[in-house]
A and B are shown apart, each in its own frame.
Chain A
Amino acid sequence: DVKVTQSSRYLVKRTGEKVFLECVQDMDHENMFWYRQDPGLGLRLIYFSYDVKMKEKGDIPEGYSVSREKKERFSLILESASTNQTSMYLCATSSGGGISIEQFFGPGTRLTVL
């Protein structure tokens, strides 16, 4: 079974703080993704990575950065948190390439920015 863990289930931060969300997977998957999920907007891709030290912008990268120093770990960084970044953040992983790339999700981090 793929196991994807995220550092916190719930997080409360203040406006302007630097926030780190961490995702760790134990299945040696090459691909890792960060999404945010908001009511009525569905899942939106923030950043993804196909390999160590590699990153690609998703659909809504503004205000975020990422780091992938090791294959199993993918961090999402909010450089200066704002209230509009209050959301559910989901990490996902998938293996290899080709058409049958199924994504497996972590439990999510519900972030509230005050």
Chain B
Amino acid sequence: QKEVEQNSGPLSVPEGAIASLNCTYSDRVSQSFFWYRQYSGKSPELIMSIYSNGDKEDGRFTAQLNKASQYVSLLIRDSQPSDSATYLCAVKGPSSASKIIFGSGTRLSIRP
């Protein structure tokens, strides 16, 4: 079992709709959770971080964390063509020495 799992996609969503990206992780003591966006040929850029159960909203993005289910998701409201990218989920353990583990990413395509 991979430590951080994501559906590779592609996930195709019509413009203006809500895109829902999901991620599960295996280490129950993980404490920090991140979503990165990566455009083709570019490096990942951090778009959201979440550390406690519940929802965290930032503009059109909402990160949701459920530690009991070991599940983290990213919702993108009012999807735009510029949201078409690969989204990487990343998870970090509780100690300062813990490494960040990245998922393989979900490719999202917003169709006009």
**B34 CB to nearest A CB, Å:** 6
**Residue tally, chain B, CB below 8 Å to A:** 22
Instruction: Give the secondary structure class of A's interface.
Output: loop
Instruction: Give the secondary structure class of B's interface.
Output: loop
Nearest to A38 among chain B residues (CB) is B104
Give the A-B contact count at a CB cut-off of 8 A: 46
**Residue tally, chain A, CB below 8 Å to B:** 20
Give the chain B neighbours of A42 by CB distance below 8 A.
88, 102-105
Q: Which of B67-112 contact A (CB under 8 A)?
A: 88, 90, 92, 94, 96, 99-100, 102-105
What CA separation (Å) do A101 and B34 show in the bound complex?
A: 10
Give the chain B neighbours of A103 by CB distance below 8 A.
34, 46, 90, 100
> Do the beta carbons of A101 and B43 come within 8 Å of each other?
no
What CA separation (Å) do A58 and B46 show in the bound complex?
A: 21
Given A42-B88, A43-B88, A99-B51, residue A104 in contact with residue B46 (CB < 8 A): yes
> Do the beta carbons of A108 and B42 come within 8 Å of each other?
yes
**A52 CB to nearest B CB, Å:** 17
Nearest to A98 among chain B residues (CB) is B96
Q: Which of B17-67 contact A (CB under 8 A)?
A: 31-32, 34, 42-46, 49, 51
Chain B interface (Cβ within 8 Å of chain A)?
A: 8, 31-32, 34, 42-46, 49, 51, 88, 90, 92, 94, 96, 99-100, 102-105
Contacts beyond the supplied A97-B96, A103-B90: 20 A-B pairs with Cβ under 8 Å: A40-B8, A42-B102, A42-B104, A43-B102, A58-B99, A90-B44, A99-B31, A99-B32, A99-B51, A99-B94, A100-B32, A100-B51, A101-B32, A101-B100, A102-B34, A105-B43, A107-B42, A107-B43, A108-B42, A108-B43
